[in-house]
Amino acid sequence: MGVPLFICRRCGRAYPKQRYRCRRCGSPEFNVLEASHGKLVSFTEIHAVRVGFKRPLRLGVVELDNGGKVVGILDLADPKMGDRVVVTRNSNLNFIKPAD
């Protein structure tokens, strides 16, 4: 399962979180798509993490093919900017894995 993507019906701007109104045009009407594929545009490693997370914790930013960007836990051995990835959602966390 991918992540929900909220698309403004009037202007087409995409948001990764539900909004009351579009920032661009002010419309309150949105279509909801499930987005999962995109490209890795940024990532970082965090070495001081909470108990329960493996070290280093890698976080990435993915630009989705349908528009919008999401942040998630990166599950790539050797991440590179521009890598094709798949984003899945588990509870409240996004996970980024390599695309097949």
Express each pLDDT in 46-98 by its tens digit. Answer: 999 888 888 889 999 999 998 889 999 999 989 999 999 999 988 788 999 99
Cα separation, 44 vs 66, in Å, equals 24
With a CB cutoff of 8 Å and minimum separation 6, the contacts of 86 are 2, 36, 37, 96, 97, 98, 99, 100
Go through the domains of the chain in sequence order and give each one's CATH number.
Answer: 3-98 (2.40.50.840)
55 touches 45 (CB < 8 A):
no
Whole-prediction pTM: 0.83
